[in-house]
Amino acid sequence: MNMFKHKNTPLIIAFSIPILMILFVVVSIYIPGLFVQPKYNFLYSTGEDYYGNRQYSVIGGRLIINPTPTPSLNYRSYGNPQLYVHNVMTNESMPVSFEDGSNYFLDSNTESPDGYKLENGSSGGGFFPFWYDRDYGSKYLVGHNVSKKVNVRSHSSSYNSIHFLGWIMQ
């Protein structure tokens, strides 16, 4: 007994399912990106100390330079950290000096006032034969059920390649 009116119907549905799923993935990734409109630019630094001894931090909404830690056997000196402001409208990062950065009033909460967070990309994974690499060091603005890749400048592809300092309030 045939469950379908036309003989080729199951074949058409069988091919349509993966194609529709690919379209769904495309739509769910690229279309929301058109509607993601975060308002707040953010300040970050790259090339900070590998062991977490940050040169820059934010206290009371203002950018400061931390005092240099006492040298020890385990201490690795600061590299040459660079400050950047990321413009969320143009999706570009521009270098700024400490003097310019210290003029901003910063919100150092992980979530911006308009509900976005800066998150790392997913790491690689899968299983045989579907292993794959992913860029864990890539950054995304995530919020309101959408995400958008942000073009940050970093010195490496590790997950802590950039140090988020704060959302620029003014």
Partner 1 sequence: MDNAVNMEKQELLSSITSLSLQNSVTKEEVIQAFENGKQQKTGVLRREMGLAEVLYFIGGFIVFVGIAILIWQNWSTLNSVTKILTTLGFGIAAYFAGVILNREERYGALGYAFHLIAALVIPLGLTVTFDQAGFNTSSAGTQSLIAGTLFAMYLSSYLVFKKPFFTFFSIAYATYFFFSFTNFLIGSNPYFTDIKFYEYRFLMVGLSYLLLGYYLSSTEQKDLSGILYGFGNLFFLGAALVLGGWKPSQNVLWEIVFPGLVFIILFLSVHLKSKAFLTWGTIFLMAYILKITGEYFSGTIGWPLSLMICGVSLIGIGYYAFTVNKKYLSTKI
Largest CA distance in the chain: 83
Candidate residues 49, 92, 100, 135; the one interacting with partner 1 per rule CB under 8 A: 135
Considering the complex, state which of residue 32 and residue 81 has its C-beta at the smaller distance from partner 1: 32
- Burial environment of residue 149 by CB neighbours within 10 A (0 to 12, 13 to 18, 19 or more): middle
In the complex, the smallest distance separating the C-beta of residue 46 from partner 1, rounded to whole angstroms, is 18
The contact mask relative to partner 1 for 84-103 (x = CB under 8 A, - = no) is --------------------
Q: Among 120, 81, 76, 75, which residue's Cα sits nearest to residue 98?
A: 81
In the complex, the smallest distance separating the C-beta of residue 21 from partner 1, rounded to whole angstroms, is 5
Considering the complex, state which of residue 59 and residue 111 has its C-beta at the smaller distance from partner 1: 111
- Burial environment of residue 62 by CB neighbours within 10 A (0 to 12, 13 to 18, 19 or more): middle
Q: Among 49, 59, 54, 61, which residue's Cα sits nearest to residue 113?
A: 61
Residues of this chain that bind partner 1 (CB under 8 A)? 1-3, 7-8, 10-11, 13-15, 17-18, 21-22, 25-26, 28-29, 119-122, 124-126, 129-136, 138, 140, 142, 146-147, 149
